[in-house]
Amino acid sequence: MTKQAKPIPKFTSEAQERAFWETHDSAEYLDWGQAKKVLLPNLKPSTQTISLRLPQHLLDGIKNAANARDVPYQSLIKVWLQEKLQVSP
């Protein structure tokens, strides 16, 4: 037995709508069981800056490999890590 969803009120501004959703649970207004997954192919994954200490000879080798491929060395490191983990972007 499905509970009847409340009607979503009409809003006159985005600020009014934002204030409403800050104080109300969307589950009372939407049947999330009927939601469908969507793909957003143009979204870029979020990134996080890290600090990584490498021996100088290793960093020099990575920079030389990147230079030979005409790519930034940080980008080459990301490609290699992704290949090693076999994770899709």
Query: pLDDT, tens digit, for every residue of 9-26?
Result: 999 999 999 999 999 999
| pLDDT tier for residue 1 given thresholds of 50, 70 and 90 | very low
Question: What is residue 5's predicted lDDT score, i.e. its pLDDT?
Answer: 82
Q: Rounded distance, CA 82 to CA 49, Å?
A: 16
Query: At 32, which amino acid appears?
Result: W
Q: Rounded distance, CA 55 to CA 53, Å?
A: 7
- pTM, whole model, 2 decimals? 0.49
Q: Rounded distance, CA 4 to CA 41, Å?
A: 34
